[in-house]
Copies of this chain bind each other. A is one copy, B any other.
Amino acid sequence: SRSLNLAVIPGDGIGQEVVAQGLKVLNAVLPQDVKLQTKEYDLGAQRWHRTGDTLPDAELDSLKQHDAILLGAIGDPSVPSGVLERGLLLKLRFAFDHFINLRPSKLFPNTATPLAGRPDIDFVVVREGTEGPYTGNGGSIRTGTEHEVATEVSLNTAYGVERVVRDAYERANARPRKKLTLVHKNNVLVYAGHMWKNIFDKVGQEYPEVTTDYLHVDAATIFFVTQPERFDVIVTDNLFGDILTDLAAAVTGGIGLAASGNINPTGAFPSMFEPVHGSAPDIAGQGKADPTATVLSVALLLRHLGFDAEAGRIEEAVSADLAERDGGTVRTTDEIGDALAVRVAG
């Protein structure tokens, strides 16, 4: 019999609530013969307040033993900005070499978009996850004085860029439209930008069927709101990917629906799946959070582990659930989870 050994990090704010629904739907969709084991990890703001720990080595080692990680949300205003992001979330992404940060964006029927005309949006952003300005490489001198100088270094390697670009070509090649857009800012960030563009062009020679395009990040944001249907697969660096995927979430019905996977495709480390949204402390514990983004992240998790049919069933359930939302009736976090669990089981 098969098994799925899952690490669960509920985290802060609405993390606990949405993760509970993700697990509910996972339980409902998994075939009978799959033995699901979960282990919860107490990491996040409360743990940090209690012990000062963000992610001790023992827990990092233990997390490594799992097939995958499901994460709710990390962050709380009571913790100084950066402590949990760098010490926990980014530490996991870097320690487990999650070089693919996969973020699909689809405008489901019947969901609200701020865009007039409801364009046909269905693209996926392949965001680099282990380099760029996210490496923590930087510092400051004369900190806090009028002579302070602070730097942030964006680190980019041919090794790191090539593997994410190749993954993006593979994904584009497997989709009907076979279109890949590189987003960078190579007219200003000429060193990193030219390396990205050169590698993008070089790897592209191996994928003659994929149509390619290049956009500066500033221009890309324009097309996200005026012509989002032009995108199929987008590959971009860590910081630009962060910005673009929040914007993508906003135009496709909001951050409550945006799923993501922090993926190491080699299988050397467990991949981690999380909604794009944050911990939303203002609505935590009130049953107001939409668990759909977490449930869709569970679908990405299942697909990553080879449960393609089950992933598809979750996505169809979400699509059907959204199609029946009427905007008037407000359901609780739990009710949405129940509805999705019923759909995937049925």
Contact = CB atoms under 8 A, between A and B. Distances in A.
A85 B255 CA distance: 35
B148 A158 contact: yes
Contact of A242 (B86, B195, B218): B218
B255 A185 contact: no
A114 interface: yes
Contacts of A195: 140, 143, 148, 150
A225 B250 contact: yes
Nearest to A156: B150
A116 interface: yes
A75 interface: yes
Contact of A187 (B75, B198, B221, B225): B75
Interface string A156-197: 111100100000000000000000000001111111111101
Given A81-B193, A147-B158, A154-B152, A221 B222 contact: no
Contacts of A113: 116
A139 to B, nearest CB: 6
Contacts of A149: 155-158
B247 A225 contact: yes
Nearest to A278: B219
Contacts of A159: 146-147
Interface in A101-141: 113-117, 133-134, 136, 138-140
A191 B151 contact: yes
Interface string A187-218: 11111111101100000000000000000011
A82 interface: yes
A204 B194 CA distance: 40
Contacts of A191: 138-140, 150-152
Contact of A153 (B146, B153, B190, B250): B153
B158 A145 contact: yes
A320 interface: no
Give how many copies assemble into the complex: 2
A249 interface: yes
Nearest to A184: B81
A226 interface: yes
A188 B219 CA distance: 24
Interface in A239-297: 239, 242-243, 245-247, 249-251, 254-255
A113 B221 CA distance: 14
A144 interface: yes
A90 interface: yes
B153 A192 contact: no
A156 B133 CA distance: 14
A190 B81 contact: yes
B242 A186 contact: no
Given A140-B191, A247-B225, A158 B146 contact: yes
Contact of A156 (B151, B190, B226, B255): B151
28 contacts: A82-B186, A85-B187, A85-B188, A114-B226, A133-B152, A133-B188, A138-B154, A139-B191, A143-B195, A146-B158, A147-B157, A148-B157, A148-B195, A149-B155, A150-B192, A151-B155, A151-B191, A154-B154, A188-B239, A217-B242, A221-B221, A221-B243, A221-B247, A221-B250, A222-B250, A222-B255, A226-B254, A247-B247
